[in-house]
Amino acid sequence: MSLTPPTVFIVDDDASICRSLARLVRQAGLDGRTYPSAEAFLEAHPAPPSRPACLVVDLQMPGLSGLELQQRLLESHSSCPVVFISGNGDIPSTVRAMRQGAVTFLTKPFDNDDLLRAIGEGLEKHRATLAAGQQVSSIRERMKTLTERELEVMSWVITGALNKQVAAELNVVEKTVKVHRARVLEKMQAQSVAELVRLCALVGFAAAEPS
Amino acid sequence: MSLTPPTVFIVDDDASICRSLARLVRQAGLDGRTYPSAEAFLEAHPAPPSRPACLVVDLQMPGLSGLELQQRLLESHSSCPVVFISGNGDIPSTVRAMRQGAVTFLTKPFDNDDLLRAIGEGLEKHRATLAAGQQVSSIRERMKTLTERELEVMSWVITGALNKQVAAELNVVEKTVKVHRARVLEKMQAQSVAELVRLCALVGFAAAEPS
DNA sequence: CCTGCTATTGGACCTTGGGCCAATACACGG
DNA sequence: CCGTGTATTGGCCCAAGGTCCAATAGCAGG
């Protein structure tokens, strides 16, 4: 499938740890990259990754802490999973990290296999999230090409309403609805109303309410 | 809405803590019940609760530990959320608890408001889960009333296939498909194919594949 | 043996959906 | 002013869905 291996971003202020972790993930066939601080990582990757990746972050760091980095990622809608490592973490930090969606939280010294397992899990999750996200944005793109009227018609069509009923709702003639309906199916690249319903469900497009 | 308040199950081997927590949740208008051990709780509630509830569990207990109790609940497909409290928990336990879906993990001494907040969050989540679960089981019930043939026809109808195509797939006449299709809509209490598609999506019923 | 359920089919009739071609009105920008 | 895009409507025709009607055959249970 993908010729390039997934990426593992290692963020730790301890250069020797960075080196050793990078060596570990590269031996596992992954693309390991290191950053001495959260700021350095954010600067290098202002946008969420578009290919499978995983972060390995130290909890305590000068400047932005690991938790704050995770927070920033969440705010930028990055779905990149985070694995925490820490020498002297506490339970409240662990809880916050996990509540914010961390894959896991390892305490030093940790087993290398545990870390690789966690990274693998994160990558797998990210792969799934990216795939779902791409499908959603593809649908959203098509939806953008719809005119307001077509959107309106679509919201009625996916309720299963007859053309006649839609026409009554919009105060137009049935024939007009037919035209819009056909254009909606064409633009959304749906072969049937059933498929259209599924597409709308995937992007959370709500059906209209009977007035 | 509900005349009876949500229930909070308190599981702790320390009787005095049980009493004090029970008092706390009752003052918050909730129905607090205490159990001296995980075994006692499981015995009293072998089946998952059908009304909004939340567990407050001590990590360390003689016999089954809090984590093991949580594990049992997961295995019995109980969606009842768990709030952990612990005097001397460690990070691995916290990680495991959170990965198993715990609402949070509080360390003693904890702030009463924090606990009530966590309980409230758990109850809210459980409410949503129960509501979704009831809808799903309602749909499943209706689906059980379908004959094999009707199920087969439904799996084609929700792909958006025409009666003619379904008939070809099943080697029957188009008219027969019409009959099944009508019965499917009736039994599933769906007003339209669009609604049927949504019902099937909710319970994860897959559409048939073109052969 | 009769009854009821299921699967199956047939026909007649009406409603609905969809494709094709054409047309008007309106707003926006070159 | 003209071309483009959007919204709207019309007719014609055919395909498909839905609703009545009635009927046959297999199969399990009383």
pTM: 0.86
Domains and CATH numbers, chain A: 7-137 (3.40.50.2300), 145-202 (1.10.10.10)
- Any idea which residue has 């598609």 for tokens? B197
Q: Best of B88, B98, B164, B209 to disrupt the A interface by mutation (most A CBs within 10 Å)?
A: B98
For residue B2, pLDDT beyond 60: no
Nucleotide nearest to A152 (CA to C1'): D7
Sheet of A104-107, strand order: A31-35, A7-11, A53-58, A82-86, A104-107
Asked if A193 and B194 come within 8 Å (Cβ–Cβ), the reply is yes
Task: Evaluate if residue A2 carries a pLDDT over 60.
Answer: no
Q: What is the dihedral of CA A183, A184, A190, A195, to 10 degrees?
A: -140
A99-146 confidence digits (pLDDT tens): 999 999 999 899 999 999 999 999 999 999 999 999 999 999 989 988
Q: How far A187 CA lies from chain B's nearest CA (Å)?
A: 17
B132 beta carbon to strand D: under 7 Å: no
Judged against a pLDDT cut of 70, whether residue A209 lies above it is answered with: yes
Find the residue in B nearest to A106 (Cα).
B92
Q: Give yes or no for B3 touching A (CB within 8 A).
A: no
Q: Is it the case that residue A167 has pLDDT exceeding 70?
A: yes
Give me the pLDDT at residue B88, please: 86
Sign, CA dihedral A123-A112-A23-A89, equals: positive
Mean per-residue pLDDT over chain B, rounded: 92
CA–CA–CA angle A206, B198, B175 (5° rounding): 130
For β-strands B104-107 and B82-86, DSSP reports them as parallel
pLDDT of the residue at B48: 94
User: Whole-angstrom Cα distance, residue A118 to residue A109?
Assistant: 15
pLDDT exceeds cutoff 80 at A1: no
Q: Which of B89, B98, B197 sits opposite A194 (nearest CB)?
A: B197
Q: Contact A205/A151 with Cβ under 8 angstroms?
A: no
Res. A210: pLDDT tops 70: no
Q: Which residue's C-alpha is at the least distance from the C1' of C11?
A: B175
pLDDT at A120: 97
* pLDDT of the residue at B207: 77
Check if A32 contacts B (Cβ < 8 Å).
no
DSSP state of B32: E
Which DSSP category does A29 fall into?
Answer: T
pLDDT 10s digits, B102-142: 999 999 899 999 999 999 999 999 999 999 999 999 999 88
pLDDT on residue A207: 78
C-alpha A103 chain-centroid distance: 14
In this prediction, residues A66-94 reach a mean pLDDT of 95
Q: What is the pLDDT of residue B102?
A: 97
Give the C-alpha distances (Å, rounded to integers) separating B55 from B11, B72, B106, B154: 7, 13, 13, 41
pLDDT tens across B39-84, in order?
999 999 999 999 999 999 999 999 999 999 999 999 999 999 999 9
Q: What is the pLDDT of residue B4?
A: 86
- Give percent helix, percent strand, percent coil of chain B, each to the nearest 5: 55, 10, 35
What is the greatest pairwise CA distance in chain A? 73
A155, pLDDT greater than 80: yes
Instruction: State whether residue B83 is helix, strand or coil.
Output: strand
**Residue A58, φ and ψ in degrees, nearest 5:** -80, 140
The pLDDT of residue B199 is: 92
Query: What is residue B79's predicted lDDT score, i.e. its pLDDT?
Result: 93
